[in-house]
Structure 1
C-alpha cells in the first residue's frame, strides 16, 4: 500500500508541482490581498482534482495492466486512491486553517466562522470525490468528471434559482433537520451530523469502487 501511495505521489508531484505552487501562491494572494475569503476553500476542491488526474495518467500508461502482474490486490490499488484523496484534503485543510488565521490577523475576519466553513467544505469535497472515483472506475475519468460537475452545478443552480424566487420558504424541512441545521443546534448539525454523513458516503463509495474494479479484467 505504501508503495502504491509513493508511486501516485511522485507521479503527481513530477507532473503538477509547478502548477500546484502557482495555484497555492495565486489563491493565497487573492484571499489575503483582495479579501476573497472564499478562495481559502478552493484548496480542498483543487487538491481532489489533482488526485483524480492520476487516474488519467494511469489509463494512458496502461498502469492497470501492469499492476495486474504485481503482488498487490485490486482492493489495495483502489484503496490507495481513496487514502490519497483523504491525505490531500487533510493537507488542504491545514493550509486553509493557516490562511484563515492570517485573514483574522490582517483583515479581522471571524476565524471560527471561516474555520467552520472550511471544515464543512472539506467534508463535502470528501463525499464529492468519493462519488467521482466510483464513476471514474465505472465510466472513465472524463465522463465521471463531466457528470459530477453537471450534477453539482444543477443542484446549486436550482437552489440559487429557488432562493431568488423566494420559493425555498415553501419547502418545509423535517423538524429534526430544521433543528440541526437551522435552529439552536445548528452548530452540532454542521460540525457533527454533516461530516458523519459525508464520511459514510465516502466509505460506501470506497466499497463500491473496490467492487467495480475487482470485476474488471486486464
Structure 2
C-alpha cells in the first residue's frame, strides 16, 4: 500500500498539470474573448441598428382636379354670356352730347350705376341696328325718348359733368356691364304695360327696371 501511494499522487499531479494547460490565462477576460470571436452573418443581422423610418408627405397637387375644373367651366361660360365685354363706340362730340342729355334727363337722380345702365341701353340699341346708326339717331328715334333738341341743361352743374363722364366711359367701353343686353327700361314706380310684360327682365338699378 505504501508503495502505490506515491504513484497515485504522481498520477493526480499529472492530471492537474494537463488541466492547467487548457485553462484561460488570468490576464485574458471573458469580455475580451467575446470581442476577439468573429460574428456570424445572422449575428450581424440581429445586432445591426434599424434605419429610421421617415414619413413621406404626399405632394400638394398643382393642377386643378378635373371635377373642380368641370364645375368651374360652366359658371365661367354662363358669366361670359350674361355680361359680354363692353366694346368701344364712336365717342364724337355729338354722340357724347346726345348720350349725356339722356343720362341726365332719365337718370340724373340715380346712382352712378343707374346712369351707366341707361347709357349702355343706348349702346345696345345702336348695336342692334334697328334703332339707328348713331347714338343721336337712337336717341331721336320717334316715340322712344324726349325731344333732346329742346332740352338745354346747364353745363356748369355737377349733374351735367357726371353725365358727360358717364357718356365718355360707356362709349369708350370702359364701364362694366350693369344691365347686360338691356334695350328698354321703365320707372320702377309705374306699373308695367303690355309691352314690358312681353319682354325679358334683366335687372333693377336704382329707380329703373331694365328689359331685353
Q: After TM superposition, is the score higher than 0.5?
A: no
Structure with larger RCO (C-alpha < 8 A, sep 6+): 1
Kindly name which structure, 1 or 2, has the bigger radius of gyration based on alpha carbons: 2
Higher strand share: 2
